[in-house]
Amino acid sequence: MDFKKYLEGQSMQRPPLFESNSFIYWKNRFETYVKSKDLDLWHVITDGDFQPIVQNPETKLDEVISFEKQTDDLKKRLTQNNEAKMVIYIAFPKKEYERIFMCNTTKENWKTLLITRLGNNQVKDNKIDLLVQQYKQFVISEDESIDSAFARFNTIITSLKARDEGYSSKNYVRKFLRALHPKWRAKVMAIEESKDLTSLSLDELIGNLKVHKMIIKKDSEIVKAKVERKSLALKAKKKSSDEQCSTSGSKDEEYAMAVRDFKEFFKRRDRFVRQSRNNKKTFQRSRDYKNDKSDRKCFRCGDPNHLIGECPKPPKD
């Protein structure tokens, strides 16, 4: 189906174009369109054509009214037979038209279409059983969004309604609540306690759950932001502490170096003092030696330049 034909099918001046892949969707739209135009047309499609007959009062048998005897009102109703058939023909593409053009009445056209697309009663029952099984086994995963879950759920219940109107009275709200993941359990209990599930619509429930999800998401973002700010503050504090420790360590090292230099200075000074003292003692000994030497003299001649053993003079008698 090209885009131009699709747009034409959305016009209020013609019925929706047939969609084989979405028959239930098309069927509901087609029915609504026909009823909006003329209820008698839908009566012709579902119950059969108007017949130009009248009961003979004498024989009590139905007799066909000849065209000459037909009233304007009857002719108008008979015209609706062809109008109803034309509505179907306009909605169908050529391939679908070929399936039904051999039918004599609009009712036969419609019935053939339903059997072709929905199957006979046995096929219909099998499809209903399959949908009922999907309905009972319907669950919502932890990561699935409410919109996605509602779309799946709505497809199931829409198909069920189209094939069995009895399912329209089921409490879909309770089923959807039971299908939610356990992380929703607190919210489910709150809804069950505060709401009347028999009067709560499915759309209202979905809206309530989506609002709750938005609040939870917002709260989560706020908590996450607080944690991030706290983490940054701790990192900044740790960095400052490390810098202080580094500065303190540098000062300690400088102090230790100063102490070592001071000790080294005193060691050198001590060596210098000891050396000076030693030199002083040597000088003192040398001076004493010189003094001692200057006080000595020869006992024979009295000369201080030599001792008695070196005296050149002969000993005295």
Instruction: Return d(Cα 62, Cα 309) in angstroms, integer.
Output: 194
Confidence of residue 165 (pLDDT cuts 50, 70, 90): low
53 forms beta bridges with 64
Query: Quick one: pLDDT at residue 32?
Result: 93
- What's the predicted TM-score (pTM) here? 0.54
Local confidence band at 272 (pLDDT 50, 70, 90 cut-offs): very low
d(CA 146, CA 154): 12
| pLDDT above 90: residue 277 | no
Average model confidence (pLDDT) across the chain: 79
Kindly list the distances between the CA atom of residue 41 and the CA atoms of 32, 93, 193, 276, in Å, as whole numbers in the listed order.
11, 21, 48, 137
Higher confidence at residue 305 or residue 281?
A: 305
pLDDT digits (tens, 9 = 90+) for 171-190: 889 999 999 999 999 999 99
